[in-house]
Structure 1
């Protein structure tokens, strides 16, 4: 008798890549570890929550470590070799017209505009596919990125660039890390990840990834252009955002894998 198989389900693949198949030793170890945890807790969702809690601890710890590294670099005055020259160059290319365009674009990464835009995208996804995955992943991802933003700012307390060098309106919170850069990258990354599972064209998937990456990059650079952040604030935000996205997506893949294994087990018994 051939081994039991399951039909391919939405969100389980990206192109020809099966998200429930782990090709590396580390991936297979994570799969086995998560499977054992699920069996011990007798609940896949509970195991996923435990894993996400552990991932959140890792993310917050990484934020703290980033703050410590920043302080160590600052103590040696090495940041001035990167931050000030980049800000000076940005100031040199400013024009009134470009200032208005970039300020409007940058606002899309703030809470006032990012929240309704994200909500509209999630609603469109739900109406199109009738699945709660985008909403669940987005809530988890944003909760983590906001926590990292708050923790990082409170730990570093880094001053923003001088007000006379920035374009109004002024920002009052700590500069490190860049919240716009971190949160826009995480939100865009989740949207791209979900879309990739439903797009059937390789060209469409490539375009989606490219547009998402360019948006996150432009958002970070806009913060430096406006004089609201130093370049290192943005670079740290990108590193933290990519790390958190990787953790959330890995947890989702493990959850999908365990559900697939449970279904295969039940089918084998019938």
Structure 2
């Protein structure tokens, strides 16, 4: 009686696990400790800054002292060409275009990459930012600047924190980390975060210039993004960073070499 051939193909769960969970890389023990320190530092700095801003907003003093002067100064810079540029930036980082961009990036990255761990982290960070901003915004319910000075339609929703800026910060900071953390070039790291900083600056300035947020709203979004970024760095390091000699539960990612 002929024996049935042995099926050595991996099971569906194993295929899913390898694609969506497994992504491991080697680093030295000291480097891993340093990454954890950076993650904790970002989270602490972000939390301290956010609660300082929150206290100022609730007390209507402190750090909010710069809100009105900055708004008044930006009013003097308004011009038709600059307004068009700022509207374009507001659309790109807005609640319609940015989610589409994030969806396209995460889906394409997840399909093309050997492992989908990093695009899943990016999507999770973006979703976390949306949930956090909605909860905090509704609790604080801070009023926006005067509606008659808004240049892209009236908006009566909450002002603190800025959802546009938080979305831009999460996408640019977390996305940059997930890419450059697999690169050994310090130039790539510096260049990546410099570009992210420029993008965040443009996103924040566009919201302030168009009259939709106070300066402290934008800083609150940045501080929350630092906390989220710290969490992503810690989670990614815990899941993927291995010291030589530690058990590797799956195939090492290509990022362990020089390519993604």
- What TM-score, normalized to structure 2? 0.73
User: Aligned pair 1:253/2:237, yes or no?
Assistant: yes
Match of 1:69 among 55, 58, 66: 55
Counterpart contact for 1:64–1:152, Cα < 8 Å:
no
**Equivalence map 1:1-270=2 (5 Å):** 12=25, 21-23=31-33, 65=51, 68-74=54-60, 77-78=61-62, 81-199=65-183, 201-257=185-241, 261-263=246-248
Counterpart contact for 2:35–2:233, Cα < 8 Å:
no
Task: Structure 1: state its 5+ residue gaps.
Answer: 1-8, 31-54, 265-270
Counterpart contact for 1:64–1:151, Cα < 8 Å:
no
Partner of 1:48: none
1:135 CA displacement? 2.4
**2: CA distance, partners of 1:25 / 1:129:** 24
1:184 CA displacement? 1.2
Partner of 1:52: none
**1: CA distance, partners of 2:59 / 2:159:** 15
**1: CA distance, partners of 2:143 / 2:191:** 37
Could you say if the C-alpha distance between residues 62 and 23 of structure 1 is closer, same or farther in structure 2, counting changes exceeding 3 Å? closer
- What TM-score, normalized to structure 1? 0.70
**Cα deviation per residue 1:6-42 (whole Å; 9 max; x = unaligned)?**
xxx97737xxx65994335975xx9xxxxxxxxxxxx
**2: CA distance, partners of 1:263 / 1:21:** 18
> What is the number of equivalent residue pairs in this alignment?
221
Could you say if the C-alpha distance between residues 80 and 138 of structure 1 is closer, same or farther in structure 2, counting changes exceeding 3 Å? closer
The alignment partner of 1:172 has SS state of coil
Counterpart contact for 1:107–1:113, Cα < 8 Å:
yes
**Cα deviation per residue 1:201-257 (whole Å; 9 max; x = unaligned)?**
443333222111110121112111111000011111111111111112111111224
**2: CA distance, partners of 1:164 / 1:237:** 24
Could you say if the C-alpha distance between residues 232 and 171 of structure 1 is closer, same or farther in structure 2, counting changes exceeding 3 Å? same
Tell me which stretches of 4 or more aligned residues in structure 1 moved more than 6 Å: 61-64
**2: CA distance, partners of 1:125 / 1:19:** 29
Could you say if the C-alpha distance between residues 79 and 242 of structure 1 is closer, same or farther in structure 2, counting changes exceeding 3 Å? closer
Larger RCO: Structure 1 or Structure 2 (Cα < 8 Å, ≥ 6 residues apart)?
A: 2
**2: CA distance, partners of 1:211 / 1:184:** 12
Q: CA RMSD in A?
A: 3.3
